[in-house]
Structure formats: C-alpha cells, structure tokens
Chains A and B, each alone.
Chain A
Amino acid sequence: MSSNSGNPILVLVDTSPEGQLRAGAGELLGAAASVGSAVALALAPAAQAERLSQELAELGATRVLVADSAAAGNAVIAPLVDALAAAYAQVQPEAVLAPNSIRGRDAAARFAARACLALAVDTVGIDRDAEGIIAHHSVYGGAYLVDSAATTGALVITLRQGSSDARATAQPAQLELLAVQSSGAPDAVITSREEAVIESSRPDLRGADIVVSGGRGLGSGENFSLVESLADALGGAIGASRAAVDAGYVPQTMQVGQTGVTVAPQLYIALGISGAIQHRAGMQTSKTIIAINKDPEAPIFDVADFGVVGDLFTVVPQLVEAIEGKRAN
C-alpha cells in the first residue's frame, strides 16, 4: 500500500477513448491534494496505464488506479460507474472528486446514487473543517457563496472546470491496475463518435484569464471578427451572450450566462451586451469588467469597472491598435 495513504481523495480523471488525458486533470488533482492524498482513477486501455500513471503522478497523484477500458466497448457510462465503485471499495476515500463535465457529472451522480453517498455538484472548490471535507458552491451566478458537507460518509463532489488554481507537486509514480466487476446495469451505447474540432489556438472559455464576449450589438456573425481581434490582441478566449447565440451569430458552446458557461476571469470585456441578469449571472464574479455599449442605460454598466458609452465599431479597432502599440513599446 501507499506510504502516503492518509486522507485519500479519489479523483476521477477524464480520458479520451484512446487513453489520452483530457484537460482538467491537473485542476482536480490540485484541489484534492489541498485536502488530502490525491488518488487518481482513469478508465483507459491497459496499454496506456504506464504512461498515464507517469502523467498523473506528475500532476500530483500519489497513487494511480487504471481500470482497463477494453471490456467497456461502446457503453456510455456504466463502465465508468463500475470503475468508481471498485476504486471506492479499494481506496476507502474521504471524498470522491470528478470533473463537472457531462460525463464526469453523469458518472459521479450515478455512483453517489448507487453507493448511497451525499452528492455536491458544480462546486468551485473543496476544503476541510474540523468535521471533514466541505464543498464550496457559487450560487445564483455568484451572488451567494454556500458551503455544503455530507451528514455522514464520503462526499461525492463535481468540480466546476476552470474554478480552481491550486496545483499539486509531482509525486513518484505508483500504478495499480484495478480489477472491475461489471454491474451489468442497463446502459446506452455510442453508435458513432468524433472528437470536437479545436478550430483556434485561443484559450478555452472555461478557465481563461481573459474573456472577450460579444452580444446582439455586433449585429451579425461576420462582425464577431471584431470580438476575435480584441480577444487575440489580449490573448483571451471568446464568449457570447444568449442574445447573440439565439440570433445565430455564434454556436451555443460560446454562451456565457445562466444557461451557458459561467466564467470568472481576471478580465471580462463585454461588447454590445446589454447585460440581462441571465448574462450577468455567468460573469459577474470576474475580477475586472469592461463594457462597451451604445445604450447608456444598459444594465451591464451597473457591474462594469470601466464602461464606455459608444460605438463598438469605432472604439474596438482603436482599442486593438492601442494595445498593439503598448505591447510594441
């Protein structure tokens, strides 16, 4: 057994079907290591186990459990839940941590239901008090901070992607192949699959330090090039308001707000966004907010540190030029 097995936190990391680590493992292991000993679990081809254990140890895992995905076939979620159940029985962790991705949340929720454990979803951090593990939640678009805990037993937690900066120090690699008994639970099957095409070198919206978002005020999808030019000048990610998504300017994956992605970057720039409460709920905890809008009554100005009432089609090009100028100096 591990020499560092005190307060184990079981961390489910997401991998591609080929066994490549998805983004976010470092964040999960960092959060786990801040309260205990991070034990990583991956469902992946056995041939990838050795490499995965190196990568995950590098990110702070004191132990790495790999369940062979060969038997999983095209099943959607049951093999992952079965792997969680087997790892839980072996590790006896104080908490179970998974990414708040569609897959991570599905697996964590099913595992919590199966194991009769308390569940805390979409948390923005974990901590420890005298009685054990607690989870931090950012509620109603960050208007409230709520802490939760389990009345008894381990807490199953999903961590919002991009919410935690903590990173763990590298550990010596310690791999264990995990034997998993199939539960035979009914499951859906994947009939076709493709990787999402990463079209740009821009940072991912979740977890980006700088986000530039466009709204209805852009007027068209073509005009989003203005948002892109500013995002690229600052090295930021691109977002959009629901109005811009509903108008068909950009895909839904870019939506910031109540029903889209919640972001909390160092800098958020809102271009032509009125700032409906639905949008503010997804960005109002940003450290610094800048808004450009031609309507002086736009509610976005109520939360902006610096607001410009003006035409974004003249202000933004000037701003991009000024940024390039400052960088050149």
Chain B
Amino acid sequence: MRVIVLMKEVPDTYGERAIDLETGLLKRADAEPVLDEITERALEVALRHREAQPGTEVVLLSVGPEGSLPTTLRKGLAMGADRAVHVQDPALLGADLTLTAQVIAAAAKQIGFDLVIAGNVSTDGGGGALPSMLAELLGVAGLAALSSVQIDELTVAGQVNTDVERYEASADLPAVISITEALPDARFPNFKGIMAAKKKPFETLDLQALGLAPGEEEARSIVISAAARPARSAGRRIVDEGDAGQQIAEFLAKNQLIKGH
C-alpha cells in the first residue's frame, strides 16, 4: 500500500506572523518556517500504519516555494517517511485553494496512492477545505476531520466529532482523509532517522513535469485588499489587594456587561 501524506510549511505560530499589505501574501522572511504540527500528526498516522503493515510506503508531498521548504520537509523524512516529493514553480506564487488542489491532485495521481492523509486545518490559512477539494478532483471518497483512524487493506474508517453529532464512517480505498488534533502527537526524529533522511529520495517537480498549465481564464480566488488591524494595547492593570473581584465587577457594570443589571 502507498500512503501519501500532505505536508505543509507554515510560519511558526509561536512567532509573529505578517502579511505583505501590497500583495496580500505571507511575508516568509518574517517568520520561522516549520512543518505544520497537524501535518506531522498526519505523518504519525501513516508511520504507525506502516509499523503494523510493513509493506506500506509513506510518501511526503508538499507544494511551496524553493528556499526553506526542502530543509523543512526533510524533518518528515527524518521522522521516518520513505521519500518526499516537492512541487515548486514560480507560477504557483499566491496560488489559491483551487489551483493548489489541482496541483496536489496531479502530483498524487503521478505518484499513485491508496490513501492520502492530510491535516484537517492548517495553522496559517486555516481553510480546512483542501482535502475535500482533493478527494473531489481525484474522484475518490473522502473523510474530513477524523478523530480516530483505522486503516486496513481495503478500507479506511474513523470517527468524526462535530459540534452537533458524532459518527463513525468508513470508505473504500483509494481515499483522502484529514485528521484532527485528537490523533497522537508526532514522534521526534532520532539521530539515526536524521542521518538516514539525507539519503532518502527527494524529488522536485514543476508544473510542466505534472503536465499542468494553469489557464488565465480559470476562476480563482484573489486577494483584493489587506490591512493590519490596529494592535491591541494593554489597559489598566492592578495587583490584587483584597478587592480585585469587586473592582472587576465595577468595571463590568460601568461597561454595561452585567446582563439584567
């Protein structure tokens, strides 16, 4: 079985993240690039399946500019993935969800897969739409936001917890799934893994290699304006001297925040 894991490089959420107000694009230089944690969890699901089913091949797939991404992606190889495919092309600068999904679908088809595993929502775009688009474009079943995953030779199943309901669902392979934070933390790469990662196959593809030529006339989502919200400033701060609770209540009352008062 071949499992493709979608990996995304994002700005570290522990740092300040910035948008270029001219282009609406992420200012990559401003933030430490890291593998999105949720995609590491997706990889963990694939690696655990391979431990149970040793014939499994785990392939990392990522789309993004050259620069830091190959280094970032190598962490996934150090964690244990068998090989990596990096799609990069200058024409992908500012790619919207639709174009990104088309590119990933073309790459997944070229690689071949039984199962694609993605994180449910990235920490930067926060869209949570890409795995669904991918399933549709690939013409396979999809399961979004799984909180548990069972994989066998023919099917993938798991539990979905929404605000209003909880259900178990199952799909025949091939399929695309996305997983939530409820899945286990990813393992840390060990020294042996880091050394081995340097020798693992790392393939770089451009749009031509995928047989894609995005048309100007296709419908795309574009940024038409971007503005920084004024930063919040700290207000009043007191040290409790025995009456802080009363002071907060006064503050709430003055600002009409106590209903029925």
Contact = CB atoms under 8 A, between A and B. Distances in A.
B170 interface: yes
Interface in B91-143: 96-98, 101, 121, 123-124, 126-130, 132-137, 139-143
B222 A315 contact: no
A210 interface: yes
A121 interface: yes
Nearest to A120: B221
Interface stretch (A42-50, A61-69, A172-180, A278-286): A278-286
Contacts of A266: 257
A218 interface: no
Nearest to A242: B181
B213 to A, nearest CB: 15
Contacts of A145: 226-229
8 contacts: A147-B223, A188-B171, A188-B175, A193-B165, A195-B164, A196-B164, A234-B259, A303-B234
A122 B128 contact: yes
Contacts of B248: 290, 292, 306, 308, 315, 319, 322
B224 A147 contact: yes
A205 to B, nearest CB: 9
B240 A314 contact: yes
Interface in A242-295: 252-253, 258-259, 266-267, 276-278, 281, 284-285, 288-290, 292
Interface in A86-126: 100-103, 105-110, 112-114, 116-122
B212 interface: no
B246 to A, nearest CB: 5
Interface in A123-182: 129, 134, 139-140, 142-153, 155, 158
A304 interface: yes
Nearest to B131: A109
A153 B239 CA distance: 57
Nearest to A192: B168
Interface residues of A, number: 104
Interface of B: 13-17, 19, 24, 37-38, 96-98, 101, 121, 123-124, 126-130, 132-137, 139-145, 157, 160-172, 175, 181-182, 217-229, 231-232, 234-240, 243-253, 255, 257-261
Instruction: Kindly name the residue among A121, A267, A290 whose own CB sees the greatest number of chain B CB atoms within 10 A.
Output: A121
Contacts of B14: 276-278
Given A302-B234, A323-B258, A327-B261, A285 B229 contact: yes
A307 B144 CA distance: 40
B98 A112 contact: yes
B97 A119 contact: yes
A284 B234 CA distance: 12
Given A122-B128, A188-B171, A258-B123, A81 B240 contact: no
Instruction: Kindly name the residue among A22, A140, A276 whose own CB sees the greatest number of chain B CB atoms within 10 A.
Output: A140
Contacts of A189: 169-171
A319 B245 contact: yes
Instruction: Kindly name the residue among A139, A149, A316 whose own CB sees the greatest number of chain B CB atoms within 10 A.
Output: A139
B257 A234 contact: yes
B245 A315 contact: yes
B44 to A, nearest CB: 16
Nearest to A261: B163
A278 B13 contact: yes
Contact of B245 (A110, A112, A234, A321): A321
B261 A146 contact: no
In the A-B complex, the 8 residue pairs with the smallest Cβ-Cβ separation, listed nearest first, are A318-B245, A310-B240, A322-B249, A109-B132, A188-B171, A319-B245, A109-B129, A305-B235
A129 B222 CA distance: 14
Contacts of B141: 186-188
B166 A196 contact: yes
A116 B137 CA distance: 10
A196 B165 contact: yes
A56 to B, nearest CB: 18
Nearest to B181: A259
Given A290-B251, A304-B234, A195 B121 contact: no
A191 B169 contact: yes
A102 B143 contact: no
B4 to A, nearest CB: 17
A16 interface: yes
Contact of B98 (A118, A147, A285): A118
Contact of A185 (B96, B136, B236): B136
B169 to A, nearest CB: 5
Contacts of B166: 193-196
A219 interface: no
Given A193-B165, A195-B164, 13 more contacts: A102-B144, A102-B160, A116-B218, A118-B220, A122-B128, A151-B218, A185-B136, A186-B175, A194-B167, A196-B164, A204-B163, A290-B248, A292-B248
